[in-house]
Amino acid sequence: MSERTSHSQPMREPTLLLLAALADQPRHGYALLGEVTRISDGRVRLRAGTLYGALDRLLAQGLVRVEREEVVDGRARRVYALTEQGHADLDAEVRRMEAVALEARRRIQRAGRPLGVTG
């Protein structure tokens, strides 16, 4: 079962970032930590315990799968990939966020406020 459905709460940011990090290719845990940091422009830095707890939850929800297990420098390493449901949930969340951003932009413009100006 997914963390959310189209009628429930928005996806939590760590989930969104992990799914986005896996959207273009499978990755192992350490690579996922780096991708989440890059995608969030350094704003989100997951700890290993948080990452693997989230991956376990996403595995149980059927959003990610273990693509393969390999041994690197004598250590086992799992490579994770999105499932079809993971791709579908990520796409739905992106569309939801785009719709909210579009509506916010419309309202800002209707109020006569310039976009992209802070302060």
Binned at pLDDT 50, 70 and 90, residue 102 comes out as very high
Domain 13-110 CATH class label: mainly alpha
> Does residue 79 contact residue 68 with C-beta atoms inside 8 Å?
yes
Give me the phi and psi of 5, to 5 degrees please: -120, 180
The stretch 22-45 carries a mean pLDDT of 94
Q: How confident is the model at residue 74 (pLDDT cuts 50, 70, 90)?
A: confident
Report the Cα–Cα distance between both ends of the chain, in Å, rounded. 43
Geometric angle at alpha carbon 2, from 60 and 48, rounded to 5°: 50
Q: Where are the domains of the chain?
A: 13-110
Report DSSP letters for 2-68, one per residue: -S--TTSPPPPHHHHHHHHHHSSS-EEHHHHHHHHHHHTTTS----HHHHHHHHHHHHHTTSEEEEE
Structure pTM?
0.81
Q: Give the pLDDT band (50/70/90) at residue 111.
A: confident
Tell me the pLDDT of the chain averaged across its residues.
88
If one counts every other C-beta atom within 10 angstroms of the C-beta of residue 80, the result is 22
